[in-house]
Structure 1
């Protein structure tokens, strides 16, 4: 399929994991892809896998200044957006008693403040009928210990999808959320998820395995496509039944 032929798509945090899988899937279906990320080396590697017209921009999500800088960069490149996958985020996991103000501020800055003001800055660059997909988490729906700050930040995104949909629908811009469960990505290693902990987490998934980044990417593409033109302000959970059973 070439559902995104002639379209331009932005994927924040598109240099690894779910973001990279989504960026590659968009490119495979004809899109010109713009990715952002923190690490220049992984950005360069990711860009090389996305076609000659892909754009990779180093951008540290979480501040209004960074959001405006990205929007200005794209404006100067005459980029108009048909879809955006807001994937850049951070996972902070610690017992409630150990969470301090720094952890709270960093998590909400990157996971909520960054997306909010990034979308605000980019609205003038969206084509009519564009689609925005936010990357949430099933942690917003289950009471998993040590996930209080992360879960709250992802719950905020689910709420944001509904309110932004109401405000942006006059432009025909739809906003939806994908909320993955445990997915096999480099984030697990960064979080120190050792074999024993991974086995315990896997045991909570009725399907008996971690999800694949490609499975989340497929849902992102569906929501971003015209096939999902009647889906607005909706959250799709992708967790192998973990939050349902």
Structure 2
């Protein structure tokens, strides 16, 4: 497939997991991709797999100077930008009564502030036909023990898309939310272990974890002109977890 031929994309949190799977799918469909992340070793490994149509910039979405460096690199090499997948995020299970200011700051610095400025700083490089994709979560819809802080930060992204679609009227730039459910990323494997993944998988009607490539496929759809009449939408790729 070549739906993204000639397009330039940025993927934050692009070295591993869903971000890497999306970056790989973008490259496979013809895009030139800049991946952005905090760990140089992971970025280097990802670049080996992505090939010559990818670049890596090290930094954090919570650091505005790092984001400036990212977009300066995009402008210098490509001149403009067509796709932004604001995927970088963080979170942990914290029950009410155990949450500290530091936990709150970390979640909102990355998931909310980081997403906001990832998008806002990209806009000068984007134009008609541009696609902004925010990585939400099934947790933004459902409630679960200990997930209040993370879930609230992801729910904020759903409203960002609704509000920004209004702000972007007349620009030809679309903004949508991609909301995965249980996905077999490296992080999930480390955090849940084999038994924990089985329990998590059993909670959705398909009774399995998604492969990151399945999420990446939907990201490519939202990035492409196949979704040209979609904005302010949320696409759930969660095995039905938050739908029934």
- TM-score normalised by length of structure 1: 0.95
Distance 2:53 2:198 in 1: 41
**Where does residue 240 of structure 1 map in the other structure?**
239
**Where does residue 103 of structure 2 map in the other structure?**
103
- Secondary structure (helix, strand or coil) at the match of 1:97 reads coil
In structure 2, stretches of 5+ residues that fail to align are: none
Contact 2:198–2:208 at 8 Å: present in 1 too? no
- Residue 141, structure 1, aligned to residue 135, structure 2: no
Distance 1:160 1:92 in 2: 22
Distance 1:142 1:167 in 2: 27
Aligned length: 244
Question: Which aligned pairs between 1:83-232 and structure 2 lie closer than 5 A?
Answer: 83-190=83-190, 192-232=191-231
In structure 1, stretches of 5+ residues that fail to align are: none
- Secondary structure (helix, strand or coil) at the match of 1:127 reads coil
Contact 1:63–1:109 at 8 Å: present in 2 too? no
The 10-residue stretch of structure 1 (128-137 or 181-190) with the greater mean CA deviation from structure 2 = 181-190
Shift of 1:128: 2.1
Contact 1:184–1:213 at 8 Å: present in 2 too? yes
- Secondary structure (helix, strand or coil) at the match of 1:237 reads strand
Distance 1:153 1:46 in 2: 27
**Where does residue 68 of structure 2 map in the other structure?**
68
- TM-score normalised by length of structure 2: 0.95
CA RMSD of aligned residues (A): 1.3
Distance 2:113 2:65 in 1: 11
Shift of 1:241: 1.2
Contact 2:34–2:74 at 8 Å: present in 1 too? no
Shift of 1:132: 0.5
